[in-house]
Structure 1
Amino acid sequence: MKTEPHAAIHGGAAIEALGADDFGQFVTYLNDHLADNGGDAGYFQPLPRRASSMPPERVRAFRDGLDVEVGSCRWRRAWVARSPEGRIVGHIDLRSHADGFTGHRCLLGMGVDRGSRRAGLGAALIAHARHWAAEVARLEWIDLQVISQNQAALALYRRAGFITAGEITDMYRIDGNSFSSTTMSLRLDLHA
């Protein structure tokens, strides 16, 4: 397997692999990010407003997945974007599907801090993860699920080349509202 590319720079933000030493800071960032769920940013996670944080079991699974070999069940890799001052301002992660026989695919999750949105950081994070998936992990597909009402995320993913694979109407009932779920996929170009 090839080594991971060096940190990318975008608008003063450095994109780097999430390390074990940074995991506590990452969880703090992630919980702050999730606090926006259901607010002005709309719903971007299938969580009620009052419970928009990472439960301990998901934190543990996320952390444990960073140590699992790519290609194995429950692997995960994550990158963070840091401001010039070192603050985490965005993240992206790739992880295995839960189903067997899907080792050629992965699932994407990401977020950008409220103060860094709509500045191109999301696109830079996707490009970084896409490069790693194709060139380092040699994966063939990146898949994702997004709440269908999250038009900003859908537009970002479309610009990055993701194609809508389907939509499940009324997938979630959150805070008394119905939300659909859209599945999108991106076929990766593998280089020799």
Structure 2
Amino acid sequence: MNIAIRGAAETDLPAFFTYLDDHLKDNGANGTPLFQPMPRGASRFPAEKQGSFVHGLATPLDGAAWRRLWLALDGERICGHVDLRARTEAAARHRMLLGMGVDRAARRCGLGQRLLDTAIAWAEEQPGFGWVDLEVLSANEPARALYRKRGFVQTGEIPDLFRIDGETLGYTYMSLALERQAG
């Protein structure tokens, strides 16, 4: 695989949404841990959330609902993604939220680390931001280990936040202080 990572544009979103639907088929399937708080049989990217990507990519960084997205591409095929988005709380605009995923065929080859490095490098260049936060299902140890390896630290956990498919699942909160702290 010759995987390139690049920023996404609005024209990439239809293919990205198709990729997400396929990616979510792995949510808790075949030994893969749940990575989204949704039942295994209903793991699809909700149509109402598609608008947050369309709107977010077009929103400037000083806007309340901005979002930036990077795609990992093997030729034309999307094999991973990472996004950063604004926190919804006005007093927390110096922080951003991270989301990411890697396609089943591209896991365990360092792509997750590359995607994180891409997003964090971008975040460090943006004035006014000091933190990257994320939320991960506590049972998803492979993801938590990747985040710890990149320097994220656990800042909290809510046990029994979700009950999905008969399982009780907690949510872990992790944060990374950017090297160039906001003032």
What TM-score results when the alignment is normalised by the length of structure 1?
0.90
Match of residue 43 from structure 1: 34
Contact 1:138 1:190 in 2 (8 A): no
CA distance in 1: counterparts of 2:17 and 2:139, whole angstroms: 26
Match of residue 180 from structure 1: 170
- Aligned counterpart in structure 1 of residue 157 of structure 2, from 167, 176, 191: 167
Match of residue 63 from structure 1: 54
CA distance in 2: counterparts of 1:67 and 1:106, whole angstroms: 17
Tell me the number of residue pairs that the alignment of Structure 1 and Structure 2 aligns. 181
- Aligned counterpart in structure 2 of residue 158 of structure 1, from 139, 148, 155: 148
CA distance in 2: counterparts of 1:23 and 1:62, whole angstroms: 8
CA deviation profile, 1:136-178 (whole Å, cap 9, x unmatched): 3552100000000000000000000000001100010111110
Match of residue 6 from structure 1: none
Alpha-carbon offset, residue 180 of structure 1: 0.4
Alpha-carbon offset, residue 93 of structure 1: 0.2
**What is the CA RMSD across the aligned residues, in angstroms?**
1.5
CA distance in 2: counterparts of 1:121 and 1:136, whole angstroms: 23
Q: Which runs of 5+ in 1 are unaligned?
A: 1-10
Q: Which runs of 5+ in 2 are unaligned?
A: none
Residue 30 to residue 137, structure 1, CA distance change in 2 (3 Å) = farther
CA distance in 2: counterparts of 1:179 and 1:67, whole angstroms: 34
Q: Secondary structure at the match of 1:60?
A: helix
Q: Secondary structure at the match of 2:58?
A: coil
Alpha-carbon offset, residue 66 of structure 1: 0.8
- Aligned counterpart in structure 2 of residue 190 of structure 1, from 159, 163, 180: 180
Match of residue 45 from structure 2: 54
CA distance in 2: counterparts of 1:137 and 1:147, whole angstroms: 30
Match of residue 123 from structure 2: 133
Q: Which runs of 4+ in 1 moved over 4 A?
A: none
CA distance in 2: counterparts of 1:56 and 1:112, whole angstroms: 21
- Aligned counterpart in structure 1 of residue 20 of structure 2, from 20, 30, 44: 30
- Tell me the percent identity: 46
Q: Secondary structure at the match of 2:121?
A: helix
What TM-score results when the alignment is normalised by the length of structure 2?
0.95
